[in-house]
Chain A
Amino acid sequence: GNSVTQMEGPVTLSEEAFLTINCTYTATGYPSLFWYVQYPGEGLQLLLKATKADDKGSNKGFEATYRKETTSFHLEKGSVQVSDSAVYFCALIDSGGSNYKLTFGKGTLLTVNP
């Protein structure tokens, strides 16, 4: 079956620090990969996505590259801000057939201090 393993938190950084949240996956087909973000008291928002190997998703200074050889999709940002404090979820959809169900990692809580 499909699964997503992401770096356990919580992660605490100072403003302007470099961020990496690791994510690896297992899938039976050719998955599309996602990072979702959940700000306090809100639902999830799509942060970025990649649909095939070597694609790089990017948004709001965050980046992640689809690495098929290492089955990874690590999230990075060069300089975090206090407003980036949130829970980050790595997820996949196994794009074979008519499956549209997301498989999520357990989430990583990021706190950025001023």
Chain B
Amino acid sequence: EPEVTQTPSHQVTQMGQEVILRCVPISNHLYFYWYRQILGQKVEFLVSFYNNEISEKSEIFDDQFSVERPDGSNFTLKIRSTKLEDSAMYFCASSVESPNTGELFFGEGSRLTVL
């Protein structure tokens, strides 16, 4: 069964360092998303991406964050200068259609620890 894959599964970084989280969405999906979850709490929307541009972003997704689809298969989230409060589980998701039409498929997450 096709699945969303995320790397790394866990990354530890020093405050102020740049981090890139990588995702390979399901191959025929057109919509891509990043969410984060702090310590098993609420799953917070960061950004949605369609047709090579950001469709929507939340107030969390400030200038420190960026997303890119560098080729036909990867979807990345970059955090330019990490803060302690960026420590969280980051989930990538993808969908065939728009989010109000069908299911979002989530990866297993990348745990980011900022020291």
The yes or no verdict on A and B being binding partners is no
